[in-house]
Amino acid sequence: MAKDDSADIGAFLVGFVVGGLVGAAVALLLAPQSGEEMRTQIKTKAIEYRDKAGEGIGQVKDRAEQTLEEARAKAEAVAADLRRRAEEVQTQGRVILEEGRKQLATAVEETRKAAGKAAEEPPAAEPAA
């Protein structure tokens, strides 16, 4: 979105400068002056508008650089947040995995104990029918 704004501002400034140059040239050509005066005035106005265009371009460039820097800072902040969240999820996964291992070890140990007791006990006699 900021990229579109910079492009719109740049297009506006270019149009403004070009329009100013065309208007100045038309005004100079239609004004009753000698050829020498007209050439001097055209040269002066051309230098003036060139300087204004340079300033406008400089401003657009500065805004674009500022916008780019802001976008970079935001992207870095988002990336840092994503890294932090990924680390949290990874840590939670490790905790859950460790708890699962402990539960499995406990279940295996209880099963061994139960199997050992069952092996030690004599088989129960079946009641007569």
Residue ranges covered by each domain of the chain: 2-105
Output the pLDDT for position 83. 96
The pLDDT mean for the chain works out to 84
Q: What's the rounded mean pLDDT across residues 49-56?
A: 84
Q: CA geometry: angle at 69 spanning 66 and 72, to 5°?
A: 150
pTM for the model stands at 0.45
State both tokens at 74.
Answer: 């935001």
- For residue range 61-106, what is the model confidence (pLDDT) as tens digits? 899 999 999 999 999 999 999 999 999 999 999 999 999 999 999 9
d(CA 13, CA 11): 5
Output the pLDDT for position 128. 59
Sign of CA pseudo-dihedral 44, 47, 50, 56 = negative
- Report helix, strand and coil shares of the chain as percent, to nearest 5: 90, 0, 10
